[in-house]
Amino acid sequence: MKSHALVVAASLAFATPAAAHAPGDTVVTPNFSHAIPNIPGKSLIAVVVTFPPGGASAPHRHAKSAFIFGYVLSGSIRSQVEGEPARVYKAGESFYEAPGAHHLEGRNMSTTEPAKLLAVFVVDSNDKELTTPDK
């Protein structure tokens, strides 16, 4: 039951930034959520982020406890975290974001094909907001 609550929390946390964009931008689908049994107070949460053709996510920050592993499932996604150069990741490539990172850009490089990203969070179990859009 706790896992279900984390999936709901993850979907709500990501739904807010998606709702703030124009229609046709990223869609976040909860995929997996579970407390990590041998690391008390930590959980593993996975979501699939679908970028429509030309779609992008607004600049945002993740929970201060969140270590994020990103894996591009399909397409090519340009990503930039503050203090780092922008980089294009293709299907099969991965990256990470350190806790508290400011994600400046997430963008589908194709204007004709969707792109998908698997984002896996290792996060404090009590963190309710996984993503906060810039104001």
Can you give the pLDDT at residue 128?
81
Domain that holds residue 68: 2-133
CA-nearest of 70, 34, 77, 37 to 54 is 77
Q: What CA–CA distance (Å, rounded) separates 91 from 133?
A: 26
Provide the whole-model pTM.
Answer: 0.81
pLDDT in tens, 49-93: 999 999 999 999 999 999 999 999 999 999 999 999 999 999 999
CATH number of the domain to which 109 belongs: 2.60.120.10
The answer to whether residue 97 scores a pLDDT higher than 80 is yes
Burial 105-114 (b: 16+ CB within 10 A, else e): bbbbbbeeee
Answer with the residue of higher pLDDT: 20 or 117. Answer: 117
Number of domains within the chain: 1
Q: What CA–CA distance (Å, rounded) separates 75 from 58?
A: 19
